[in-house]
Structure 1
Amino acid sequence: MNFIIGYFRQRRKGIFIFCLFCLVFLCAFLLYHLPAGAVLYPAFVCAVLGLIFLIWDMRRSWQRHRRLEELSRLPSVLQKDFPKPVSAEDRDYQQIISRLCEEQKQLETQMNLRYSDMIDYYTVWVHQIKTPIASMRLNLQSQDSEFARRILEDLMRIEQYVDMVLGYLRLDSDFTDYVIQEYELDDIVKPAVKKFAGQFIRKKLQLDYRPLHTKVVTDEKWLQFVLEQVISNALKYTEAGRITIEMENETDGAEDRAVLCIRDTGIGIAPEDIPRIFEKGYTGYNGRSDKKASGIGLYLCRRICSNLGHTITANSSLENGTVIRIRMGEPTRC
């Protein structure tokens, strides 16, 4: 219906001119007292012929419309076979579109090259910056003092930020090294927890973690990155109490899903902030209090979980701690 209305709206000038000409001839015949049939009959014949032409033209326009609709559903790189132009205006439009497509391809090629160069540069930078970090860690590990332990924590935080930079850059890269297979979940959780052992001891926080005995299909490196971000946030905003890591079983229809829960007894999250904590750059009330918050960590967690086929959610209330749930596929007990 929209096509028919649009078609007649596009042809309204021609229809109006035809009716106007018929009216002019009719008025002229009436002024000269000539039989009205002398103009009505030719007008009727012309109207029938015009209707036949309109039906033919409408059918041709409908075919062009369907072809353009099919092209609009294709990626831009495949939008080449435009309908044959029926006017100079159509030809001009197609030339403009073709030129714009070529310019877009050139811009995309340039952007991909720049993006690839940037990834290469930061990859080299990450590996180079980790060398002095590792050297400083070795030197500090030989010193048993509170100062050395604080510096080690700061070094670990720097290394975490470096990994965050690289993870952020690689999110949309075609070369992201996902290795999706079945892993023992404890083999991913334990290294992530061990990395923060010093902070647990310094802040005198209790860790409630028992072997999970669960296998999940995921990527070991990227899921560990997500866990490190979540545990780091839990430690940052928890001054007393405990952090609990446990499994929950959740039934989604007829399918069981493995849900990894990280609970803390920290300051919690304001209710108005919860829907937005996974947005890029959003820091919320806690982030505004902590000037060093970037609002990138949980955003990366959500993006990575999405790429892995997992979902990550948060439940919290002020002064009552936070629960982060990572929902994965069907669990396998081991």
Structure 2
Amino acid sequence: MFIAYLVYKKSWIGLIGLLLLLTNALIQFDAGIEVEPHSLIYLNTLFLTICIVFLIWRYKKETAYYKSLVTLSNDMGDVWFVNIPESQSRFPDEVLYTLLQNIHEHDQNKRREDQLTQRLEHDDLSSWVHEVKTPLTAMKIIIDGHHSNELVQRLNAPWLRMHLLIDRQLYISRLANLESDLLPDKQKVQDLIREEVRELSTWCMEKNITIEVTGNTGAIVYTDKKWCGFVMRQLLTNAIKYSPTDGKVSIHMDLQENKYVSVSIKDEGPGIQSHDLPRIFDKGFTGENGRVQHAATGIGLYLAQEISKKLHIRLEVATAVGEGTSIGMIFSSDNPFERIRRSPLYNRHE
């Protein structure tokens, strides 16, 4: 910063050098002024020493405030303005401080307006979702009450798709406050899977898809039932969507003591192209298969990934073109939920 300061003050340094040069020229060429050579050297040395000391003093004084701003800029946060020290001089530090204060106030006002707008949109959306669920529930009661009517029963599959879309939208609206909605507890993996399979059974029957569950049926994880179930539902929905008619979806549970519990969901679909694989969890990305299906929204796997991060679940994808896709949920023992479950305090309260 010192070099930059010298460059900034180059006009002042040039003026001082010019004055020194004129002084030396006057002494040398003015016949009325007689100065010994060693005295001239002494005068120049003294003059330059005073100038250097003055520049160093002014550098420290004038750049102290800017150094504090540079330090703050390396660690910016939402409350950045609170950490800015007040200016000690009227000019130019006070001008800069006033400018930053105005920027901060404008930013805060804009943020409050945006938050208010988002809150109103969120409330409107949540209200709309809840209102739509009421007639959907009534439709389901009517459908279930006419088992013998084949025409009515054909509405089961479209109703399920509508229900899944509305339900997913409800979860999206709650995603921002997910942490406050978590209630982790011991959950049997098989029960979580069975509940989601039962939810999607109508769709499976429509496509005549078999669900095969294998592995360690006694595996237990410590997680939130509602949100973990939603992740499983998104993965199962994708597996059923891309599975061919009369196909099979395989669910395998594995347990390695003190390491992890894994749940893999494998379909017999077309698989994922290698160039699409790195982006399947991106929001809005549908990929080549999604464009062929014309039913992909590019939101399901994105939600599954985002919620899995909050639940400390790792998603792993294995795929082969023409052979299907397998997505695994890895419940690692090294996460906050599992550490709480294994703690003596938790076991004491059980």
Q: Give the match's secondary structure for 2:85.
A: coil
Measured in 2, the distance between the counterparts of 1:171 and 1:68 equals: 36
Residue type of the partner of 2:30?
Answer: Y
Shift of 1:39: 5.0
1:42 aligns to 2:43 (yes or no): yes
Is the 1:266–1:322 Cα contact (8 Å) retained in structure 2? Answer: yes
1:23 aligns to 2:27 (yes or no): no
Measured in 1, the distance between the counterparts of 2:166 and 2:291 equals: 22
> Which of residues 199, 215, 219 is equivalent to 1:214?
219
1:235 aligns to 2:240 (yes or no): yes
* Equivalences for residues 83-162 of structure 1 within 5 A: 83-141=86-144, 142-144=146-148, 146-162=150-166
Measured in 1, the distance between the counterparts of 2:20 and 2:86 equals: 35
Could you tell me which runs of 5 or more consecutive residues in structure 1 were left unpaired when the two chains were aligned.
Answer: none
1:178 aligns to 2:179 (yes or no): no
For the structure 1 residues 296 and 48, does the alpha-carbon distance in structure 2 shift closer, same or farther, using more than 3 Å as the test?
same
Is the 1:149–1:198 Cα contact (8 Å) retained in structure 2? Answer: no
Shift of 1:324: 0.6
Measured in 2, the distance between the counterparts of 1:271 and 1:14 equals: 63
Q: Give the match's secondary structure for 1:328.
A: strand
Is the 2:81–2:101 Cα contact (8 Å) retained in structure 1? Answer: no
Shift of 1:292: 2.5
Measured in 2, the distance between the counterparts of 1:208 and 1:237 equals: 16
Shift of 1:275: 0.3
Task: Report the TM-score, using the length of structure 2 for normalisation.
Answer: 0.84
Residue type of the partner of 1:237?
Answer: Y
Measured in 1, the distance between the counterparts of 2:105 and 2:261 equals: 48
For the structure 1 residues 8 and 309, does the alpha-carbon distance in structure 2 shift closer, same or farther, using more than 3 Å as the test?
farther
For the structure 1 residues 317 and 149, does the alpha-carbon distance in structure 2 shift closer, same or farther, using more than 3 Å as the test?
farther
> Which of residues 166, 169, 182 is equivalent to 1:165?
169
Measured in 2, the distance between the counterparts of 1:295 and 1:58 equals: 56
Q: Give the match's secondary structure for 1:172.
A: helix
1:56 aligns to 2:61 (yes or no): no
Aligned to 2:79: 77
For the structure 1 residues 60 and 149, does the alpha-carbon distance in structure 2 shift closer, same or farther, using more than 3 Å as the test?
farther
Measured in 1, the distance between the counterparts of 2:5 and 2:260 equals: 53
Aligned to 1:295: 298
Shift of 1:83: 4.5
Shift of 1:176: 5.0
Aligned to 1:226: 231
For the structure 1 residues 13 and 268, does the alpha-carbon distance in structure 2 shift closer, same or farther, using more than 3 Å as the test?
same
Is the 1:170–1:176 Cα contact (8 Å) retained in structure 2? Answer: no
Write the deviation string for residues 260-317 of structure 1: whole angstroms up to 9, x where unpaired: 2111111111111010010011101011112221111111111111122222232212
1:270 aligns to 2:277 (yes or no): no
Q: Give the match's secondary structure for 2:284.
A: coil
Deviates more, 1:46-55 or 1:215-224: 46-55
Deviates more, 1:32-41 or 1:96-105: 32-41
Is the 2:247–2:268 Cα contact (8 Å) retained in structure 1? Answer: yes
Shift of 1:139: 1.0
Measured in 2, the distance between the counterparts of 1:286 and 1:42 equals: 85
Measured in 2, the distance between the counterparts of 1:191 and 1:120 equals: 29
Measured in 1, the distance between the counterparts of 2:114 and 2:25 equals: 67
Bigger relative CO (Cα 8 Å, ≥ 6 apart):
1
% identity of equivalent residues: 25
Measured in 2, the distance between the counterparts of 1:164 and 1:187 equals: 21
Deviates more, 1:321-330 or 1:140-149: 140-149
Task: Report the TM-score, using the length of structure 1 for normalisation.
Answer: 0.88
Aligned to 2:69: 68
Write the deviation string for residues 20-60 of structure 1: whole angstroms up to 9, x where unpaired: 22223223333436646565433321221222233333444
Measured in 2, the distance between the counterparts of 1:17 and 1:313 equals: 68
Q: Give the match's secondary structure for 1:118.
A: helix
How many residue pairs get aligned? The number is 328
Shift of 1:250: 6.9
Q: CA RMSD in A?
A: 2.7
For the structure 1 residues 229 and 76, does the alpha-carbon distance in structure 2 shift closer, same or farther, using more than 3 Å as the test?
closer
Shift of 1:65: 4.6
Measured in 1, the distance between the counterparts of 2:186 and 2:5 equals: 58
Is the 2:272–2:289 Cα contact (8 Å) retained in structure 1? Answer: yes
Aligned to 2:347: none
* Equivalences for residues 187-198 of structure 1 within 5 A: 187-198=191-202
Measured in 1, the distance between the counterparts of 2:150 and 2:323 equals: 31
Residue type of the partner of 1:64?
Answer: Y
Is the 2:87–2:97 Cα contact (8 Å) retained in structure 1? Answer: no
For the structure 1 residues 284 and 231, does the alpha-carbon distance in structure 2 shift closer, same or farther, using more than 3 Å as the test?
same
Deviates more, 1:40-49 or 1:166-175: 166-175
